[in-house]
Structure 1
Amino acid sequence: MKELLANFFDRYGLSFIMVASYFGSGSIFIASQAGVEYGYVLIWAVIGAVLLGFMAQDMSARLGIFGDTLMTFIREKLGKKGALVLALFLSIGCIAWTLALTAAVGKSVELLTAGSLPWQPIAVVTGVCAILVGIMNYDHVEKVMTGMMFLLLILYLVVAGASQPSVSSVITGFIPSLPNTGAMLLGAAILGTTALWPNFFLESILVKQKGWNKPKHVKMMRSDLAMGYSVGGLITLAIIIVAAAVLRPAGYTELSSFMAPGEALEIVLGQWAMIVFLLGVIAAAFNSIVPIMWTIPFMILEALDIDHKEGSSSTFKLIFAGSILLGMFSPLVAHITGLSVVEMVTLFPAYNGVFGLPITAALLFWAVNDRKLMGINTNSWKLNVVNIVLVLFSIYIAINSGRGVLEAIFGGLLT
């Protein structure tokens, strides 16, 4: 058994860290909303998002295998000062994500304990736990993340099976369809949460830690990505199916509160379903914190050309822990801005989609087409077509959503 697990983690595991980072509480609510509003119609969008996320990660991985890390490329092109400014700007988005994720874990525990444990102190404890997990040896973190992703898969597949969905309707959902503008925006949101920009930095770094540094490792890397994104995609599909089969027929048209999906599941399937929902939110939110916050020290140290020793240096751990300490102040942010937990869970990832995704997608596109760096392994025209779609989509989202996202987050401070 031990040898079997060792062989598994030789081939797989890295992609589960990548998938864990994108599949947080925001993904759960977006997928739930898609099922509530449009039934099974947007199943095809999940498939498209998984494929595009796979392709983006593939490019980042090949950059690490054949060239160098994404931030090293940026430093060489923009200089240390330019790279550091960019790293610090992008770090704001990572901290915002962690604010949302610690709040989500805290709120879920509060609801599980019927209010006996307020979410605010639990959010702080969550940050402390994330620091302890994140400073562990990479191999241990990989195993923890992989185990929690499979736990999520089992939890949501059990609920999906109990919801008894219409098989024919599920199959119809694989056919691309956009009935209105709202469906288009939700489809875009599904894509935006799947193509997560911190992964563009992490994948190019962690392939080296995995020991994948030769052409023969490309096939292994792609098998790993296929495994991880298949699990992430199945979880998202299960959530949409549950929302379409249970919440939509129960009369829900929107998810206005943090507990709305859990309450509806409890009414139709029983209390066990609500407990599973909340456990899933806890696992997904906590799972996302560590890889997202790893991005900050990796970016800053590589921008300054400081050796981070595969994430084990004291400087790396100090920056990582300090960043999460800032992300633990979600109760204070909620108090100052007036944002609810569900608003933080949806708006802070949107902030990253507006500012982080277009910048990093464009930089990744530049890097994988740099012949001096990549040599004969530069992007083919087919891969460039996919990457251009990602870049143009992220720019479109930024132009059309930027003002609304900023007003939603900071509006309470300006009135």
Structure 2
Amino acid sequence: MNMSGTTSSYRERVRDTTSGFFQQYGLAFVMVASYFGSGSIFIASSAGVRFGYALLWAVVGAALLGFMAQDMSARLGIFGEPLMVFVRRKLGGRLATVLAVVLSSGCLLWAFELTAAVGKGLSLLVGGAVGWMPLAVLTGFAAVAVGVLNYEGIEQLMTAMMIGLLIVYLVVTGTTAPPLSAIATGFVPSVPGVGALTLVASILGTTALWPNFFLESNLVAEKGWTGRSDIAPMRRDLGIGYAVGGITTIAILVLAAAVLRPAGYTELETFLTPGRALGNVIGEWARTVFLVGAVAAAFNSIIPIMWTPSYLFQHARGNEADSASRSFKAIYAVLVGISGFSPLITMFLGLGVIDMIILFPAYNAIVGLPITAVLLFWAVNDEKTMGEHRNTRSLSVINAALVVLAVVSAATSLPGVVDALLSGGL
């Protein structure tokens, strides 16, 4: 029997299967990777610690809302034009550029938080032998190197890392044997106590990530989705991606509810606290696995979030945005390189890693999400842009709910965030 020939044939079949998958799917994993970072882990863990399994329904609702928003963004890209191209056409180049600067500043703040989180996580993994500050700088350079790869390479890397994260958290959660009956009741909507609605809003806000509204409308072209026949694979792609992201988030919430809450934890200081707590409760191996997953999730988020400014600036200036072009990669590399200097935020503004993890995403929820939600709502309902493919009445109602949620959340959160920023942290 020719074993070498059999092995070669098997490898070819695997390669063909993988290639076929990425020809049709994979874009949603890039989108999900952008929202599933330090904020998502912290928020899901906090929900499990404070309210047990009671807010599992919010995770499902957030994933569905994110799916619907991404679906509208994808249809805008397929039947109309990328979102910032629409903005420039409607508002002119000068105002579009101003919006690009405002929104990109939010992306940079997000990247500061993420490089700091990765640096802190790596420092904990090596037992403090290296401080988080130099590791944060190295994280920025590593993100530059990875992010300038071609789109296909990024898509495959993001998919592998998201599936890896799912496996990691399911393995750790599975060892705790959580009660299935209690988990089932968590999928029934309820408001279990004071502060629950705030966490629900946080879960929604971190899942309906505004950079994705711009990215999806651009990246559908990378997949070759250009017509009505591409709607079905696009929605299957979103379904697969959000299922992986949603199940991973559920696993983290269940893990916190099953292990940390019974152990007496009532609040979490940072998204890294669950890893240390798990080490104390079920063994050092769980701490290591959880922290590795948390670091990978935070690093994963940097790349797609920081692609967004490249698209924004190129389109605001009236240029084509090609992810393989030198100018696109230059904008990405410069901004991500700057984000690696997150230690300067601590040195000059007095904000710690925990402050950045909480406050910088909050800034984006206050500024970026309302602006982008309004623009997306306008674009998908514009007859000249979408023609017969503009939003149906039911989709308009859902999209309007997203806009209202974004505006109300921004208005209620603004005073506290401004006070924390001006006073040097939480």
Q: Into which bin does the TM-score normalised by the smaller protein fall?
A: over 0.9
Work out whether residues 24 and 223 of structure 2, in 8 Å CA contact, stay in contact via their aligned partners in 1: no
Deviations 1:171-219 (A, max 9, x none): 0000000123400000100000000000000000000111000110000
Work out whether residues 258 and 341 of structure 1, in 8 Å CA contact, stay in contact via their aligned partners in 2: no
1:345 maps to which residue? Answer: 357
Counterpart residue type for residue 196 of structure 1: L
**1:264 Cα deviation (Å)?**
1.4
**1:260 Cα deviation (Å)?**
2.2
Work out whether residues 76 and 379 of structure 2, in 8 Å CA contact, stay in contact via their aligned partners in 1: yes
Match of 1:83 among 59, 80, 96: 96
TM-score, structure 1 as length reference: 0.98
2:347 maps to which residue? Answer: 335
37-46 or 118-127, larger mean C-alpha shift: 118-127
Work out whether residues 41 and 271 of structure 2, in 8 Å CA contact, stay in contact via their aligned partners in 1: no
TM-score, structure 2 as length reference: 0.95
Match of 1:186 among 194, 199, 203: 199
Match of 1:288 among 275, 290, 301: 301
Instruction: Indicate the SS of the match to 2:304.
Output: helix
Distance in 1 between the 2:28 and 2:194 partners? 33
**In the alignment, structure 1 residue 166 sits paired with structure 2 residue 171:** no
Counterpart residue type for residue 41 of structure 1: A
Unaligned runs of 5+ in 1: none
Deviations 1:101-126 (A, max 9, x none): 00111001100000111111111111
Distance in 1 between the 2:370 and 2:74 partners? 19
**In the alignment, structure 1 residue 227 sits paired with structure 2 residue 240:** yes
Match of 2:212 among 182, 187, 199: 199
Distance in 2 between the 1:258 and 1:37 partners? 14
**In the alignment, structure 1 residue 110 sits paired with structure 2 residue 130:** no
2:7 maps to which residue? Answer: none
Query: Taking structure 1 as reference, are residues 12 and 407 closer, same or farther at Cα in structure 2, changes over 3 Å only?
Result: same
Percent of pairs identical after alignment?
A: 56
Please say which structure displays the higher CA radius of gyration. Answer: 2
289-298 or 329-338, larger mean C-alpha shift: 329-338
Distance in 2 between the 1:157 and 1:401 partners? 33
Work out whether residues 140 and 338 of structure 2, in 8 Å CA contact, stay in contact via their aligned partners in 1: no
**In the alignment, structure 1 residue 74 sits paired with structure 2 residue 87:** yes
**1:409 Cα deviation (Å)?**
2.3
2:414 maps to which residue? Answer: 402
Report the count of equivalent residues.
Answer: 412
Runs of 4 or more consecutive aligned structure 1 residues displaced over 6 Å after TM superposition: none
Distance in 2 between the 1:257 and 1:84 partners? 35
1:297 maps to which residue? Answer: 310
**In the alignment, structure 1 residue 356 sits paired with structure 2 residue 368:** yes
Equivalent residue runs for 1:8-407 within 5 Å: 8-257=21-270, 259-308=272-321, 310-407=322-419
2:423 maps to which residue? Answer: 411
Unaligned runs of 5+ in 2: 1-13
**1:357 Cα deviation (Å)?**
0.4
Distance in 2 between the 1:333 and 1:393 partners? 30
Distance in 1 between the 2:213 and 2:176 partners? 36
Work out whether residues 58 and 189 of structure 2, in 8 Å CA contact, stay in contact via their aligned partners in 1: yes
Counterpart residue type for residue 399 of structure 1: A
Work out whether residues 272 and 294 of structure 2, in 8 Å CA contact, stay in contact via their aligned partners in 1: no
